[in-house]
Structure 1
Amino acid sequence: MGIKLRLVIMNFLQYAIWGAYLTSMGSYLVGVGLATHIGIFYAMQGIVSLFMPAVIGIVADRWIPAQRLLGFCHLLAALFMAAAGGYAMTSGNGVQFGLLFTLYALSVAFYMPTIALSNSVAYCVLEGAGLDTVKAFPPIRVWGTVGFICSMLLCDAAGFQTTYMQFLQCAVLGLVLGFYALTLPACPVSRDGDRKSLVEALGLRAFTLFKQKRMALFFIFSMLLGISLQITNGFANPFITSFRDIPEYASTFGANHANALISLSQVSETLCILLIPFFLKRFGIKNVMLVAMLAWVLRFGLFGLGNPGGGVWMFILSMIVYGVAFDFFNISGSLFVNKETDVTIRSSAQGLFMIMTNGIGATIGTLGAQAVVNRLVYSQQSAAAQVAGWSQSWLVFAGYALVVAVVFALVFRYKHDPHAVEEVNR
């Protein structure tokens, strides 16, 4: 089996695991009376990303080959998710927040580092085969989005999006990838015998990137943009599904199949990944990230103005711009970090990028979004008032994204060299 195909399978499963529950867990939590806890469930992914990706990245850089560590993390994540699904199955509507959240938190603690770790494995294997990562990685990574879509649609078609079965679906896929990752080509670790400082020995030198003004600003704005990342994952499904309580929209396809509608976002993501090499080379990281920020404004704003009836076209357009919003930030940012960092700290630098985006940013974003939703939506008694509250919430999120975009355009300075994108890591 060719190297590229093996990495395609890895990426397909990597994101199929996430797609099993990421966009539908909110609706399950609403169904079991935990609607006001949606934010903390999604924020937990950010909280563990504050330290786990960096710790795992350090271990991969220094002691355990990245592909082997990737397998171990997936196996542990799958076991804890299976336990969460098993508990939810036996408890029914009597599920308690404490135990379900604990099992779920342990699972995501081992899953979240695998996102950066799988990128490191892919870069390592591609470079070992003499391939240009900027050209070769996006067409491989696109299959991760295909996996996410397939998993979402399976969850919807099987009727899992409001039940505990989405957790069990996630666990099965995790076990498969856990064992598969152990068969991937070996990635090197740094085991030289030179005397090193404590910072170097622990792999913490990635944090010295903050001494570079350009990298410091890049990571700060990554955090600010990361605030937007998990909001729609946590709240889009409950929002769209809430229209079922409005007679005018109760029988619409979108209100009854939110996951299928949301999957258009991942279809867009699949197509947009393929545009990244061209846009990075032609316009540079600053303009690519600025486009992503403006796309988030549209993503949220169209949600706030649309509905699953006559305004469904706004939902569909919101799904289309999501590909630009997510890919032009996440994938381009990861490639930028890969090019701007030394090979000896690459895994930990990717971990640092995860800390700023899916860690600090996403944690602030989901907890902040929950506060907004609690105030504008769940404080309302009637279904109509709650839907109106949802619209107001999305417009608040759009306003935030617009402010970040304007400040970024004014503050971040980066002189783009089209030829530098073609160069091997400096």
Structure 2
Amino acid sequence: MTKEKNVIKTKLIVMNFLQFFIWGAWLISMGRYMTYVMHYDPMEVGGLFATAGFAAMITPALTGIIADRWIGAERLLSICHLLTGVCLIAVGFLPVGTPFATVWLVIFGVNLFYMPTLSLSNTVAYHALGTVQADIVKEFPPIRVWGTIGFIVAMWLVNLLGWMDSPMQFHLGAIAAIALAIYAWTLPAVPHGVQKAEGGRRSIISMLGLDALVLFKNRQMAIFFVFCMLLGAALQITNAYGNTYLNSFGEVSEYANSFAVRNPNILLSLSQISETLFILAIPFFLKRLGIKGVMTMSFAAWFLRFGLFGLGDPGMPGVIALVLSMVVYGMAFDFFNISGSMFVDQSVSPSMRASAQGLFLLMTNGLGVVIGSLGAGWVVKHFTVAGVTEWTTVWYIFAGYALVTGLLFWLLFHPKQVATAQES
């Protein structure tokens, strides 16, 4: 059994590495490419990143139902990655001057097929570990961390190969996607229905989390989900504009040859490294501060993330502010996404947990990302004159947003009153 378990773990490590390598190849540098190569304005760039939010509201639910009824999760994972790869190849071949609507549709296609693979890959991993009687809580995190490593490796490759301003970043992601589409056929088969969260087949209403809307009858749960949406609005902002911001310093002679300008992806990858470390700190802080304290820390970390971006520059001591901004990202992301998901799981009755998680995903990675991406695009465009963006002002506006929403969350959210959510 030990040998079989090690084989399964190795297969899942490779799967997770490729799963996030695909994303890391283009997600962080796409905003820069679309700005400087394709010449789209900030609002349009924000619209491209909003496609992830629209996709998160559609295909994860649909693929969940398909996998539950007709196709094993590992087979559907393969199909989705194959289609993701095709769409990424198409993005790479779009010439300069392509109408924005066409680019938007192709990027939407990428996200439409890629977003459901995030949950499908977890389904495959959980089932595979279960077949060898592995402790999922203990065994899965060390496997999942290889996904973050894959994301970082892809970022570094794109940076070091000089592909941040090249369509090769999309082709690299496509190669990894097609490789995973083939590799998925070697993964343990998931019988139909294994991937459902809890007893019985779930409808599309349940998969979307819409039958959990009853939770809004509890005032504190309603407040929680609204702030999840508001916090979710911050998720894609630095992904969309971080690389573009650092690249803008190349127009200043004293910074033109700085590390941050020459290697923005490598600098930004510190955020993902930080993310892997803060995951380990969640139990410590949750036990001592509770969900309200931990999520308030997330708001504070987003405030610092944006504020330090505004303070920083590629020189000394400005680069220290940039590095600190990367460090606090781990807290900003993990203390919200992971802790929030755990809170939802513990705050509702077992029969509604799956739907409540669907609602959490809908509010954060769906509505939140759409609102944040489009809103951020409007702000950046508003403060861009003659092609020059007042980045310091932009980052301070985002920091102010995080600060105000964080203070309101602290004042309005009282988790001790959530107990009735299961009975409402």
TM-score for both structures, normalised by structure 1: 0.85
Which stretches in structure 1 are left out of the alignment for 5+ residues? 417-426
Separation of aligned partners in 2, 1:344 and 1:10: 31
Which stretches in structure 2 are left out of the alignment for 5+ residues? 1-5, 418-424
- In the other structure, the counterpart of 1:240 is 246
Residues 300 and 402, structure 2, Cα contact 8 Å, conserved in 1: yes
Distance verdict in 2 for CA 1:124–1:24, change over 3 Å: same
Residues 54 and 348, structure 1, Cα contact 8 Å, conserved in 2: no
Q: Once the two structures are aligned, what percentage of the paired residues are identical?
A: 48
1:142 pairs with 134, 138, 145, which one?
145
How large is the Cα RMSD of the aligned pairs? 2.8
Letter matched to residue 367 of structure 2: I
Cα distance per residue 1:81-128 (max 9 Å; x no partner): 11221x23xx3x344423333222211111112223333433444455
- In the other structure, the counterpart of 2:122 is 119
- In the other structure, the counterpart of 1:167 is 170
Distance verdict in 2 for CA 1:269–1:73, change over 3 Å: same
Q: Are 1:83 and 2:90 matched, yes or no?
A: yes
* Superposed displacement of residue 27, structure 1: 1.2
2:81 pairs with 53, 57, 74, which one?
74
Q: Are 1:370 and 2:373 matched, yes or no?
A: no
Distance verdict in 2 for CA 1:203–1:101, change over 3 Å: closer
Distance verdict in 2 for CA 1:343–1:166, change over 3 Å: farther
- In the other structure, the counterpart of 1:28 is 33
Separation of aligned partners in 1, 2:118 and 2:352: 17
Residues 77 and 108, structure 1, Cα contact 8 Å, conserved in 2: yes
Letter matched to residue 251 of structure 1: N
- In the other structure, the counterpart of 2:394 is 393
Distance verdict in 2 for CA 1:10–1:219, change over 3 Å: farther
- In the other structure, the counterpart of 2:410 is 409
1:57 pairs with 49, 56, 64, which one?
64
Letter matched to residue 107 of structure 1: V
Residues 58 and 347, structure 1, Cα contact 8 Å, conserved in 2: no
- In the other structure, the counterpart of 2:17 is 12
Secondary structure in structure 1 of the residue aligned to 2:186: coil
Letter matched to residue 326 of structure 1: F
Letter matched to residue 415 of structure 2: Y
Distance verdict in 2 for CA 1:127–1:318, change over 3 Å: same
* Superposed displacement of residue 233, structure 1: 0.2
**After alignment, is 10-19 or 165-174 more displaced?**
10-19
Cα distance per residue 1:35-93 (max 9 Å; x no partner): 332111111111221222222233334443333322221111111111221x23xx3x3
Letter matched to residue 364 of structure 1: I
Distance verdict in 2 for CA 1:293–1:80, change over 3 Å: same
Distance verdict in 2 for CA 1:180–1:333, change over 3 Å: farther
1:45 pairs with 41, 45, 52, which one?
52
Separation of aligned partners in 2, 1:400 and 1:323: 19
Distance verdict in 2 for CA 1:276–1:126, change over 3 Å: farther
Residues 27 and 238, structure 1, Cα contact 8 Å, conserved in 2: yes
Distance verdict in 2 for CA 1:171–1:350, change over 3 Å: farther
Cα distance per residue 1:196-222 (max 9 Å; x no partner): 99x954452732223233654443322
* Superposed displacement of residue 152, structure 1: 0.1
Residues 268 and 323, structure 1, Cα contact 8 Å, conserved in 2: yes
**After alignment, is 149-158 or 66-75 more displaced?**
66-75
- In the other structure, the counterpart of 1:317 is 324
Letter matched to residue 145 of structure 1: T
Separation of aligned partners in 2, 1:345 and 1:58: 17
Distance verdict in 2 for CA 1:399–1:125, change over 3 Å: farther
Cα distance per residue 1:230-284 (max 9 Å; x no partner): 0000001111100111122222111222111111111111222233344445544
Separation of aligned partners in 1, 2:342 and 2:72: 21
Q: What does residue range 336-375 of structure 1 map to in structure 2 within 5 Å?
A: 336-337=343-344, 350-375=357-382
Separation of aligned partners in 2, 1:27 and 1:215: 38
Separation of aligned partners in 1, 2:243 and 2:119: 26
Distance verdict in 2 for CA 1:7–1:251, change over 3 Å: same
Letter matched to residue 139 of structure 1: P
Separation of aligned partners in 2, 1:159 and 1:49: 31
1:331 pairs with 338, 347, 352, which one?
338
Distance verdict in 2 for CA 1:276–1:5, change over 3 Å: farther
Secondary structure in structure 2 of the residue aligned to 1:286: helix
Separation of aligned partners in 2, 1:268 and 1:84: 30
Letter matched to residue 395 of structure 1: Y
Number of residue pairs the alignment of both structures matches: 401
**After alignment, is 3-12 or 340-349 more displaced?**
340-349
Cα distance per residue 1:384-404 (max 9 Å; x no partner): xx3xx1110111111111122
Q: Are 1:226 and 2:228 matched, yes or no?
A: no
Q: Are 1:294 and 2:300 matched, yes or no?
A: yes
